[in-house]
Amino acid sequence: MPVSLTVLGSGDAFNSEGRGNACYLLRDELGAVCVDFGPTALMHLKALAALEPGLDPDAIDAVFVTHLHGDHFGGLHLLLVDAEFSARRHKPLVICGPRGIEEHLARWYELAFGKVPACRDFDLRFVELDPGEARVVLGRRVTALPAAHTCPGQALCYRFDLPEAAVAFSGDTAWTDALIDLAKDTELFVCDCTEAPGTNPQHLTWEALEPKLDTLQTTHLLLSHLGPSMRRAADRIQCAAGRAGAPRVSIADDGLCLRCGAAAQPIP
């Protein structure tokens, strides 16, 4: 089965231009995982499941959280309560993230729904990752690298080295040279690019990223976590980015589905 990526949320923390919060559905021969799970993720996942029978929240094997800001992990309590009371899940679920993810999510759940269940009908396992650490999680080799983003705990980028393709996710980050290693020899790199002009100490902008394109050795750079100025500049940026030696650049949107391989291509 080819590796595919479906964008379930391409917007910034403010749902600018009506887009969902960060969530990316990665599917391969081993099953399905999500990278980040913002507050709108469950809704978009169920909307997708209405079009693809069999693809429902119960199909998700793991969620990889890049950092502990609400627009990136703030839908996990909804995924859990859906699993407990609606889907009646029995399949195990793994939640991976930076140190503190288990405690942070327990507090989030308690604020929303009260006491965390003492036991569930499914096995819930947490895997905490440190920057520079590589693990095999459910058969997938995953490497965590440090992101340049201030938040509770350490913000992470993720790289998945799969048999069919290497796919990377920056999460929220300003420029850091760790992105060069993260993107190297990947078929697809999903990268924060919150605004077009200027610089931002917490996020990449197109003005800051464009001069670095030649250092990112990826086949396809997908810009996401987009604010209003990036949406307005989308056509101009995709045209300007097509220079020799630079990766192909695309603008993410909710519902976009890509097949990852030698070149990531939209799935009709």
DSSP 47-105: HHHHHSTT-SGGGEEEEE---S-HHHHTTHHHHHHHHHHTS---S-EEEEEETTHHHHH
Mean per-residue pLDDT, 29-39: 97
Tell whether the model's pLDDT for residue 201 goes beyond 70: yes
Residue 62 has pLDDT above 80, yes or no: yes
The structural domains of the chain, ordered by start, are: 3-266 (3.60.15.10)
Cα angle value 72/78/83 (rounded, 5°): 125
In percent, the amount of the chain with pLDDT more than 90 equals 86
| Three-state secondary structure call for residue 27 | strand
pTM: 0.95
**Residue 144: CB atoms within 10 Å:** 25
Q: What is the pLDDT of residue 53?
A: 82
Q: Minimal CA–CA distance to 256: which of 7, 50, 35?
A: 7
Look at residue 16 in the predicted model and tell me its pLDDT. Answer: 97
Nearest CA among 96, 99, 155, 153 for reference residue 126? 96
Q: What is the pLDDT of residues 117-143, one digit of tens each?
A: 878 999 999 999 999 999 999 999 999
Separation of alpha carbons 252 and 241, rounded Å = 15
Q: What is the pLDDT of residue 107?
A: 95
Identity of residue 45: L
Q: pLDDT at position 226, please?
A: 98
Q: Which two tokens stand for residue 246?
A: 């630079």
Which range among 17-21, 25-29, 102-106, 235-239 shows the weakest confidence by mean pLDDT? 235-239
Sheet (strand 265-266) strand order: 124-129, 93-98, 60-64, 31-35, 23-28, 3-9, 257-260, 265-266
Is-contact 212 220, C-beta < 8 A? no
Alpha helices in 192-233, H assignment, sequence order: 206-209, 228-232
Long-range (24+ apart) CB contacts under 8 A made by 239-246 are 240/210, 241/210, 241/213, 243/213, 245/214, 246/213, 246/214
Q: Kindly state the average pLDDT of the residues 36-56.
A: 93
Residue 49 vs residues 68, 95, 106, 207: alpha-carbon distances, Å: 27, 21, 27, 37
* Residues 42-65, mean pLDDT to the nearest whole number: 93
CA distance 45 to 63: 13
Q: Is the pLDDT of residue 32 over 70?
A: yes
Q: Answer yes or no: is pLDDT of 9 > 60.
A: yes
Do residues 133 and 156 lie in contact, with contact meaning Cβ atoms separated by under 8 Å? no
Please provide the average confidence, as pLDDT, over all residues in the chain.
Answer: 93
Per-residue pLDDT at 241 exceeds 80: no
Confirm if 160 and 168 have CB atoms less than 8 A apart. yes
CA 203, CA 223: separation in Å to the nearest integer?
A: 12
Residue 268's pLDDT band, with cuts at 50, 70 and 90, is very low
